[in-house]
């Protein structure tokens, strides 16, 4: 087997895949969504406890702290700690997303300037040609793969993503079948589309 495929790196096709399902969004991303909503809930509960505590404190029960007021103050302290933990978790995940987005944007900028982009499939290797750079992937070196009608994602030492919209018109099925045949050893996600 010796198949050659021209790749036209359409940035929009890559962005559709990279930023699908809220990926890259600080509040909607699956990585941050849980922390963000837990932070908001704990903040709302803490504020509610504070308002209730001030309300009870202003009732003027003989100016001595009641057990309820002490209990609410303890809940307030716990609420503050939980709120801070969720906020720090959210910030950590948001910083990870920021670094990831920076890497993706740098990669997309490199793709914009690429003049020649080809993939050559042989029985033993996949060769990726980008301008004057050549990368050779051994089929046995691919450890994880996802093949579907929208894209092919291969993970070895590097991560390779090939959107279907970037392959020559009508040749994506041929490309997908050839790659699928060679990566049967890799951990694959089923074709979802």
CATH number at residue 137: 2.30.29.30
Based on the fold, state whether residues 70 and 107 are members of the same structural domain: yes
Task: Answer with the one of 61, 78, 112 that is the final residue of a domain.
Answer: 112
Does 45 have pLDDT greater than 70?
A: yes
Query: H or E stretch including 88?
Result: helix 67-113
- Domains identified in the chain, total number: 2
Task: Answer with the one of 65, 81, 112 that is the final residue of a domain.
Answer: 112
Based on the fold, state whether residues 141 and 92 are members of the same structural domain: no
pLDDT mean across residues, the chain: 85
Strands 125-130 and 117-122: antiparallel
Which structural domain, as residue segments, surrounds residue 73? 17-112
Domain assignment present for 1: no
Does 103 have pLDDT greater than 80?
A: yes
Reported as a pLDDT band with limits 50, 70 and 90, residue 58 is low
Based on the fold, state whether residues 38 and 93 are members of the same structural domain: yes
Does 101 have pLDDT greater than 90?
A: yes
By percentage, how much of the chain surpasses pLDDT 90? 27
Strands 187-189 and 144-147: parallel
Reported as a pLDDT band with limits 50, 70 and 90, residue 54 is confident
d(CA 104, CA 101): 5
Based on the fold, state whether residues 122 and 81 are members of the same structural domain: no
Supply the pLDDT for residue 96: 94
Supply the pLDDT for residue 21: 84
Based on the fold, state whether residues 69 and 133 are members of the same structural domain: no
What average pLDDT does the segment 33-62 reach? 82
What average pLDDT does the segment 31-51 reach? 90
The secondary structure of residue 167, as a DSSP letter, is B
Radius of gyration of the chain (CA): 26
Task: Dig out the tokens for 120 from the structure.
Answer: 């050559």
Write the CA distances from 28 to 23, 38, 48, 65, integer angstroms: 7, 13, 26, 43
Domain assignment present for 8: no
pLDDT tens for 140-190 read 888 888 888 899 998 888 888 999 999 987 889 899 888 888 887 666 665
What average pLDDT does the segment 32-42 reach? 92
Strands 144-147 and 151-155: antiparallel
Domain assignment present for 2: no
Supply the pLDDT for residue 190: 55
Based on the fold, state whether residues 29 and 104 are members of the same structural domain: yes
Based on the fold, state whether residues 103 and 135 are members of the same structural domain: no
Reported as a pLDDT band with limits 50, 70 and 90, residue 193 is very low
Instruction: Give every strand in the sheet of 144-147, ordered side by side.
Output: 159-163, 151-155, 144-147, 187-189
């Amino acid at each position: 087997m010796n198949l050659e495929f021209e790749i036209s790196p359409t940035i929009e096709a890559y962005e559709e895949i990279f930023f699908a399902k809220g990926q890259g969004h600080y509040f909607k991303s699956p990585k941050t969504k849980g922390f963000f909503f837990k932070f908001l809930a704990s903040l709302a509960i803490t504020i509610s406890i504070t308002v209730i505590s001030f309300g009870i404190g202003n009732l003027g029960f003989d100016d001595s702290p009641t057990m309820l007021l002490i209990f609410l103050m303890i809940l307030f302290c716990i609420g503050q700690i939980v709120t801070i933990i969720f906020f720090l978790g959210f910030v950590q995940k948001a910083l990870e997303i920021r670094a990831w987005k920076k890497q993706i944007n740098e990669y997309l900028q490199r793709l914009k300037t690429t003049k020649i982009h080809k993939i050559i499939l042989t029985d033993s290797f996949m060769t990726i040609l980008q301008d004057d750079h050549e990368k050779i992937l051994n089929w046995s070196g691919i450890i994880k793969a996802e093949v579907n009608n929208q894209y092919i994602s291969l993970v070895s030492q590097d991560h390779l993503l090939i959107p279907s919209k970037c392959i020559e018109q009508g040749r994506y099925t041929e490309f997908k079948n050839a790659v699928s045949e060679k990566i049967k050893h890799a951990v694959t996600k089923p074709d979802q589309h």
